[in-house]
């Protein structure tokens, strides 16, 4: 309000104007909450339809676990690619062309975010080995020398990490 108008209006009129502005603000907030509630209801209904479709699909528990593992593996690979914790190769070896090396501690820190009661770290790694994503030597962690120090590393296949579209997951 302009200062001249405020002087002309009585305190009663100022109170009425203030209450009207407050009521309009409350009406706007209420309308926004109604819209958000409708969106949430739609989301709940959509999720219930998806849940019912899963039940009707007849997928076995093993198929559901396999799906969970594969989706988590893809997201895990995207996270590895994003973090780029690869150890450099000083010498060209056969593994240089095919595998990235990731320090054991860094790998397990990222892995912890993708494991829980359903998906154990041991099984997660076993799935990646079976899919050819990781190199395994009888379930042993590889030991390499980096800058004169011995390190324990996991070997991740470059073609698995550099898949087109992995970063978009």
Total domain count, the chain: 2
Domain identity same for 86 and 149: yes
Domain identity same for 74 and 149: yes
10: DSSP letter? -
Domain identity same for 34 and 109: no
- Domain around 30: 3-57
Burial environment of residue 39 by CB neighbours within 10 A (0 to 12, 13 to 18, 19 or more): exposed
Domain identity same for 88 and 147: yes
Least confident span in 54-58, 81-85, 119-123: 54-58
Domain identity same for 132 and 162: yes
Torsion of CA 145, 147, 150, 155, to 10 degrees: -50
Domain identity same for 52 and 65: no
Domain identity same for 83 and 105: yes
Quote the tokens at residue 65. 């676990």
Quote the tokens at residue 91. 């010498």
Report the SS3 class of residue 156.
Answer: strand
Domain identity same for 39 and 76: no
Domain identity same for 52 and 100: no
**More confidently predicted of 119 and 23:** 23
What does the pLDDT look like over 82-116, one tens digit per residue? Answer: 877 777 666 666 666 777 788 888 888 888 888 88
Give the E-state strand segments of the chain in sequence order. 86-87, 99-103, 142-146, 149-157
What pLDDT band is residue 21 in, cutting at 50, 70 and 90?
very high
């Amino acid at each position: 309000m302009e200062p001249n108008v405020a002087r002309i209006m009585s305190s009663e009129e100022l109170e009425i104007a203030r209450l009207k502005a407050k009521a309009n603000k409350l009406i706007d907030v209420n309308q926004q909450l109604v819209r958000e509630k409708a969106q949430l209801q739609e989301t709940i209904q959509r999720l219930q339809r998806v849940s019912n479709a899963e039940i009707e699909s007849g997928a076995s528990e093993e198929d559901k676990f396999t799906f969970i593992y594969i989706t988590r593996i893809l997201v895990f690979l995207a996270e590895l690619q994003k973090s780029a914790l690869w150890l450099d190769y000083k010498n060209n070896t056969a593994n240089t062309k095919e595998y990235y090396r990731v320090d054991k501690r860094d790998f397990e820190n990222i892995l912890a975010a993708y494991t829980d009661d359903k998906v154990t770290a041991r099984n997660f790694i076993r799935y990646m080995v079976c899919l050819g994503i990781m190199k395994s030597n009888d379930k042993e962690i590889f030991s390499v020398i980096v800058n004169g120090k011995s390190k324990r590393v996991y070997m991740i296949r470059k073609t698995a990490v550099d898949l087109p579209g992995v970063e978009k997951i």
